Amino acid sequence: MEAGFHVSGSLGGGLPHAFLVDTGSVGILVPRQTLGPDYQSFDPSQDIEFQYVSSGNAYWGQWVKVPVILGVPADWDGTGDYPMAHIEVFAVDQPADFDGGILGVGFAIGGLADGGPARNPLLHLTYQGAHLSHGYIISTQGIAAGLTTLSTEGFAFIALERAASGQDWMQPPASVNLTGDFSADGFSTDLPFLMDTGLDDMTLWVSAGNAPPNLPGDSAFPAGIMASIAVPPADQTAEPALQYAFVTGDTNQPMAPSQLQWRIGSGINTGRNVLAGADYLYDAAAGRMGFRVPPA
């Protein structure tokens, strides 16, 4: 949970490279030198920016269409059957020393870190000549690319609303409640819910006029704050698809993020620790999100 979940992939005929699985962005971020030799000639004056909101990290490069082969071993010799997609990836030119990699597979992110559904690698995979369904399941055991009747058994589903553009889905609403010594009345609000496996902490993005009282922004909450999350909000359904709680500072809770803070905005970035207690499903074809308690 601390280091994040990684998948190895070969892009544009290059050597295998490790990518952090990130449901909090859309698009593959890759050092240009990791791509094959056919993609090393470029005009740096055409570079554009790709920036992550939560971390503030910014990169400059270009969208390049390449074959993406996922799940290959680190010593891959180019043989065998692996899922493949032909999509645009963001080839990073600056910073020149960037050697990481992000597999952005979320939706409705907005901003510069959202390449759109056409650049989500898990929605455009083929395997052994067949197109996989446009959806996936992420768990601590790995990624199940493509959805089947059998693989979706046991999930509680949330129907998603179409975005105004008609090209993507909107994040569902969730309720967050905070209680503790910081306020006699506690704090409660409904916010868009972003399942974010790219981080190990949680951020509540709230309006300036509706911030948790007596808790400073942009810094970790003190120990002893009880936080509870329900998706959809508990007052909208008899049984939320996902509901969990934790106390800040208590390290014996698997689903608790490394820390909790608030910033100005609108939404909940969960952090990846949700996966300690629930498998996550995204079905882009049917417009739904789901959660399932994993088998013991």
How high is the pLDDT of residue 237? 61
How high is the pLDDT of residue 184? 64
Q: How confident is the model at residue 280 (pLDDT cuts 50, 70, 90)?
A: very high
Name the one residue in this structure whose structure tokens are 């065998």: 80
Bridge partner residues of 21 (DSSP): 103
Q: How confident is the model at residue 180 (pLDDT cuts 50, 70, 90)?
A: confident
pLDDT(255) > 90 = yes
The angle formed by the CA atoms of residues 82, 107 and 90, to the nearest 5 degrees, is 60
How high is the pLDDT of residue 71? 96
DSSP state of 38: G
* pLDDT tens-place string over residues 227-249: 999 999 877 667 899 999 999 99
Amino acid occupying residue 103? L
Please, what is the end-to-end C-alpha distance for the chain in angstroms? 18
Q: What percent of the chain has pLDDT over 90?
A: 88
Cβ pair 90, 30 in contact under 8 A? yes
pTM of the model: 0.95
* pLDDT tens-place string over residues 103-118: 999 999 999 999 999 9
Amino acid occupying residue 115? G
* pLDDT tens-place string over residues 119-163: 999 999 999 999 999 999 999 999 999 999 999 999 999 999 999
